[in-house]
Structure 1
Amino acid sequence: MTASNSDPALAVGENTVVTVEFWIMSTDGEALDDSDGPVSFLHRGLDSLLPRLDDGLEGKTAGFEQTFHLEPSDAFGDYDPELLRVEPRSRFPEPIEVGMQFEGVPGDAEDGEETEVEPDDGDSDENALIFSVTDLTDDKVVLDANHPYAGMALRVRIKLLEVRPADPEEIEQGYADSDEESDDILDALIEARRNPGTLH
């Protein structure tokens, strides 16, 4: 991990690495998710947050804290009913459970043959839709490729912990170096920025 060389007076801007904690809530204050501790990213880099949040952090220094209201268009996109599918359970491997994820959705195979859907292993093409199982019956599977927060207005509270200059390597690669594994919710925010309305 890059050694910290933060400057309390350094403001968030181009070629800075930002460390924050954040909490995501519904508009009525229900806690939905959080960063589970500090996370670092290159401001407006490949690992950055949503553009609305990047804008809110621009020019701020360590110690800044604010709750931002995000409309669906600023967050995880509008809910797309076209991304909801009901498929025969026979096309899926057993056992199958609510919450499981699959790359793509079974279509009409050539020559009318049915093909079994393979679970997502996390190494799928970044442009492929990932469908989550949201409901099951004895013979049907309900799949949804919308993000769980799609169509929701959200409140995101951000606490700015540290700002430091990005290293040349970080600037070149477009993201901050870290020893930590990517956090799921940060990944979701990143993906929403790239592809609103999809879960990956």
Structure 2
Amino acid sequence: MKIEKNSVVELDYKLMDLEGNIWESSDEGGPWVYLHGHGEVMPGLENELLGKAIGQKVKVEFGPEEAYGPYEEELKTEVPREAFAEVKNLTEGMRLAAESSDGVHAVMVREIRDDVVVIDANHPLAGQAVKVEVKVLSVRPGTEDEIAHGHVHQDGTCGH
């Protein structure tokens, strides 16, 4: 089976900056499983994987627009320092989950001042070109529920 819209795809992957520094890989967290055609992977990679089959490899470089998009200054926010009172060992560069009206988002602590903490909701690689290496491990049709929900269901169940 070849990768097409609504396929569930399992990949070995490596995400790197242009200097070859590894940001994420399946060596750390296991294979990446996603529903193709639903915006779960960077746009450039989704296009590159269309039509690929089990065992095929892709090595590609993407500019910011095909990867994590441009850096958006408005995604940096100053939050009162007391909002982080329960965070142990708060340090610059720390990744946290922040809850907002539209869900939970990963943020990075950019700066810690006496009265405020500057957090940044941009992806750490926003505004940068990246290299991606993947190998297709498996491809299967998505189930009706997976397609309706727009994501893969682990063990046949949805976490929602």
Structure 2 letter corresponding to 1:34: S
Amino acid at match of 1:172: A
Please say if residues 35 and 142 of structure 2, whose CA atoms lie closer than 8 Å, have aligned partners that are also in contact.
Answer: yes
1:15 correspondence with 2:6: yes
Change (3 A) 1:173 1:130: closer
Which of residues 26, 29, 41 is equivalent to 2:20? Answer: 29
Judging changes above 3 Å, is the alpha-carbon distance between structure 1 residues 88 and 23 closer, same or farther for their aligned structure 2 residues?
same
- 2:50 equivalent in structure 1: 58
Partners in 1 of 2:106 and 2:17 — Cα distance?
A: 24
CA contact (8 A) 2:97 2:104 kept: no
Structure 2: stretches of 5+ with no match in the other structure: none
Paired residues in the alignment total 151
Per-residue Cα deviation, 1:164-195 (whole angstroms, up to 9, x for no partner): 22233323333222139xxxxxxxxxxxxxxx
Report % sequence identity. 32
Contact 1:44 1:51 in 2 (8 A): no
* Secondary structure of residue in 1 paired with 2:48: helix
Contact 2:9–2:139 (Cα < 8 Å) also in 1? yes
TM-score between both structures, scaled by the size of structure 2: 0.77
Question: Alignment RMSD, CA only?
Answer: 2.8
Shift of 1:131: 4.4
- Distance in 1 between the 2:63 and 2:33 partners? 24
- Which runs of 5 or more residues in structure 1 are unaligned? 1-9, 104-119, 181-200
More strand by share: 2
How big is each residue's C-alpha offset from its partner over 1:70-118, in whole Å with a ceiling of 9 and x where there is no partner? Answer: 11111112112233344553x4342551326474xxxxxxxxxxxxxxx
CA deviation map 1:144-179 (0-9, x unaligned): 222211111100111101112223332333322213
Question: Following superposition of structure 1 onto structure 2, how do residues 64-83 of structure 1 map, counting pairs within 5 Å?
Answer: 64-83=56-75
Which of 31, 35, 38 is the equivalent residue of 2:31? 38
User: Residues of 2 paired with 1:178 and 1:128: CA distance?
Assistant: 20
